[in-house]
């Protein structure tokens, strides 16, 4: 098998339907566009959701409530058990977690969660830490410090 021998499977490719080839073809006369009207005209296209001037469904439905999703603070989760990959007595920050592949993705803030067991004494500097994770870290003599991101200074002073 070589690149020049590749072919689509039989039945995978279809000829395009040729329109207007006489009435016996099944696609003659109006060529599948029906009778008269907006959709029968050349160059005609109606946007999705258009209902011929009737109030569209999306505008008929009531809009209720408030969506707070735009204003939530999202964190990349890292479990306590994942921190066992670091050496005993290490100081861990966001950059170290990302380098180790524990906090990947587009989320900028990192939160330590209490799932699993920790076996090493660590100093952790992250954006957030759950109460159970903090207890497990401090039980072994480590610390969990919260790093507050710097807010940009406003011009109104």
Any idea where the domains of the chain sit in the sequence?
71-146
Mean of per-residue pLDDT scores for the chain: 89
Least confident of 63-72, 107-116, 119-128: 63-72
Across the range 9-34, mean pLDDT stands at 92
Instruction: Mark out the alpha helices in the chain (DSSP H runs).
Output: 57-60, 94-99, 131-139
Domain 71-146 classification at class level: alpha beta
pLDDT score for 44: 83
Cβ atoms of residues 97 and 111 within 8 Å: no
Q: What is the pLDDT of residues 51-100, one digit of tens each?
A: 989 999 999 999 888 888 888 889 999 999 999 999 988 899 999 999 99
pLDDT score for 156: 56
Which of 129, 59, 68 lies closest to 97, judged by CA?
A: 129
pLDDT over 70 at 35, yes or no:
yes
């Amino acid at each position: 098998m070589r690149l020049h021998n590749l072919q689509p499977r039989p039945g995978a490719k279809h000829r395009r339907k040729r329109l207007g080839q006489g009435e016996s073809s099944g696609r003659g006369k109006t060529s599948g566009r029906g009778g008269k009207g907006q959709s029968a005209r050349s160059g005609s296209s109606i946007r999705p959701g258009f209902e011929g001037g009737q109030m569209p469904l999306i505008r008929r439905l009531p809009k209720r409530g408030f969506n707070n999703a735009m204003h939530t603070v999202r964190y990349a989760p890292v479990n306590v058990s994942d921190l066992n990959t670091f050496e005993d007595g290490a100081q861990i920050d966001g950059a170290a977690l990302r380098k180790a592949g524990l906090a990947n993705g587009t989320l900028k803030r990192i939160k330590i969660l209490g799932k699993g067991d920790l076996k090493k004494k660590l100093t952790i500097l992250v954006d957030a830490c759950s109460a159970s994770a903090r207890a497990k870290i401090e039980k072994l003599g480590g610390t969990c410090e919260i790093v507050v991101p710097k807010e940009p200074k406003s011009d109104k002073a």
